Amino acid sequence: MAKVLMKGNEALGEGAVRAGCRYFFGYPITPQSELPHYLAKRMPEVGGLYLQSESETAAANMVFGAAGAGARVMTSSSGPGISLMQEGISYIAGAELPCVIVNMIRGGPGLGNIAPAQSDYFQAVKGGGHGDYRLICLAPASVQEIIDLMQDAFDLADKYRNPVMLLADGVLGQMMEPVELGEEKIAEAPEKPWAATGRKKGGPKRLINSLYIVPEECEKHNIKLAQKYDTIRRNEQRWEEYRVDDATMILVAFGTCARICKAVVDSARNEGMAVGLIRPITVWPYPTDVITRVREKAEQFLVVEMNMGQMIEDVKLAVEGMRPVHFYGRSGGMMPVARDVFGEVKKLYNGGAA
């Protein structure tokens, strides 16, 4: 199997095409602009459609239309662009339409900057728009995993009729790594009997909607959604464990931070410290099952993020107060470096002494 050197943003585009995505609507914004650039060329090669929308708000609503017609469709943006999509994303979730949304996170809040961050975690995993809804959120940590998770993203979206967000920090979008693409086998979208493709004479009526004027009907719909989300929580938690079996201290990190923490774990082991790493691959549903299991043996947790402390709340919920949960983070586009994280590990491992 040949390896190809690809940038993360380009891998997102190639992975989407191979997953059967044939429609992309978006608007360029750093640090994800290479993704729409790539698809502007690639989509016509496979008979797909690339359309640069007039705004991120418009892109989200174009996704609604294509998803409602049964297409495999994707959009992408970063930071303020994702914020502009929130109304449309809520409508898509409310109408139970499958699609994939890429958020290549940059520094914030406000206009912020174009440097990498993980500060959109709350917005992604708690539901950034209005109403009771959830997005399935996948967090890759390498360019190869970007390729692999794109297929999963579209499959999960169709399986649960739910939007899926691929959540990555800007480092992954700009990073170049060798990836194994394998033989090009373009996936076909599954049958979608619910899709509004145009009613034929005498055919079934298909209405896609998120409007429920009667409160009792709206509550019934929300209960249905909640039951679906419970099923997703039970079935779709994903994570990676690294040197966890005998660890008394567990690092928890996703995306680029997890790569940094893996090196820290190795350094700590070289100095005789029993340290391990849990890397969430799904940040929603959050992999609480593994945290619940390892908390029985672990003495403490250290959460490492590129923000001021967001995922740590989910770790604390999973630990349920049974062990101390510490935090180390950098924000505003600054990245943790292995040396500093290792210093924090050493201090905590030695009971607070450096």
| CB-CB contact of 75 with 60 (8 Å) | yes
First to last CA, the chain: 47
Phi, psi of 119 (to 5 degrees): -85, 0
Residues 9 and 149 in one domain: yes
Classify residue 197: in a domain, yes or no: no
Query: Which CATH number is 299's domain given?
Result: 3.40.50.920
Model pLDDT, residue 197:
86
Model pLDDT, residue 185:
66
Question: Which DSSP symbol is given to 116?
Answer: B
If one counts the domains in the chain, the total is 2
Alpha carbon distances (Å) from 154 to 163, 202, 251: 9, 32, 30
Model pLDDT, residue 127:
85
Residues 131 and 251 in one domain: no
Residues 154 and 247 in one domain: no
Rg (CA), the chain: 21
Residues 145 and 78 in one domain: yes
Token pair belonging to 230: 């419970």
Residues 228 and 167 in one domain: yes
Query: Which CATH number is 87's domain given?
Result: 3.40.50.970
Phi, psi of 89 (to 5 degrees): -65, -40
Residues of the chain where predicted confidence (pLDDT) is lower than 50: 354
Give the dihedral sign, CA 172/173/177/178. Answer: positive
Q: Where in the sequence is the domain holding 288, given as residue range(s)?
A: 240-349
Classify residue 196: in a domain, yes or no: no
Residues 145 and 79 in one domain: yes
DSSP state string for 278-339: EEESEEES--HHHHHHHTTT-SEEEEEESSSSSHHHHHHHHHTTSS-EEEEE--TT----HH
Closest CA to 136 of 105, 172, 167, 95: 167
Instruction: Tell me the angle at which helices 256-270 and 338-349 cross, rounded to the nearest 10 degrees.
Output: 50
Classify residue 94: in a domain, yes or no: yes
